[in-house]
Amino acid sequence: MKKETAHLISTIFHPIVFAVLFPFLLIYHQTGDFFSATRWMIFSVAFIIMTGFTFLVVRPDEVLHDFDVSKREKRPVFYGIMIVFSSLYFLAAFILRGIFYPLSIVALGIIVGIGLFDLVNTRVKASVHGGVVAAYMVTMTIFYGYFGLLATLPLPILMAWSRISLKKHTPVEYISGVFLGCIITIGTFVLGKALL
C-alpha cells in the first residue's frame, strides 16, 4: 500500500503535469482570459508530446520507467532533446508574443533550468521532481502570496516522501533538486520583473 501511494503521488505531481499547468496558470493570471490560457496549455502539450516522441525515436530501446531517467548515461540525451524543444518553445513564444510576454521569460527559465540540472546531474543526482514541485510552489507564492504558499506547501513534502520511499532519491538529492528549483524560479521572476 505504501509503495502504491508513493507511486500515485509521484505520478499525480509529475513534472509533466506541472509543465501542462504552468502555461495555463501563468497566462490566466496575467490576462484573465481562460481561452487564451487554454490555447497556450494545448500548445505546450504539443511540445511535450513532440519531446517524448523524439526521445523514443532517438532511443527506441530505452523505456523510461515511471517517466524517470534514473541512469546517469541516459540523461545527456534526454536533457539535450529537452533543451532543443524548450528552445523551440521559447522561439515560438518569442515570435508570437515577444520577449516581454511572461511565458517567453518562463520558457527561457526552463532552458536555463534544464541546462543547470544537466550540469549538476553530471556530478550528483538532483531530483527534477523536487525541483519542479518547488518551482510550482514558488510561482504560486509569487502569484497569490501567503494563500499560494499555504496551498502548495504540502506538495514538496508529499513529493519528498514519495521519491524517497520509492528509493528514487536520497534526502540530499531531493533537497538539491528543491534548492535548484527555487533558485531558478526566483531568478526567472527577477528577470521577468526587470524586463516587464
pLDDT per position as a tens digit, 46-102: 988 888 888 778 765 655 554 556 566 666 777 788 888 888 888 888 888 766 677
Is the alpha carbon torsion for 55, 59, 60, 66 positive or negative? Answer: negative
CA distance 70 to 121: 11
Tell me what pLDDT residue 79 has. Answer: 79
CA distance 124 to 49: 28
CB 114 within 8 A of CB 188: no
* Largest distance between two CA atoms of the chain: 48
Please write the tens of the pLDDT for every residue from 108-165. Answer: 888 888 888 888 877 778 888 899 999 999 988 988 899 989 999 999 999 999 999 9
CA–chain centroid gap for 123, Å, is: 20
Q: Please report, for the chain, how many H helices and E strands are present, in that order.
A: 8, 0
CA distance 194 to 24: 22
Tell me what pLDDT residue 72 has. Answer: 63
Domain that holds residue 189: 2-195
Higher pLDDT pick, 6 / 63: 6
**Count of structural domains, the chain:** 1
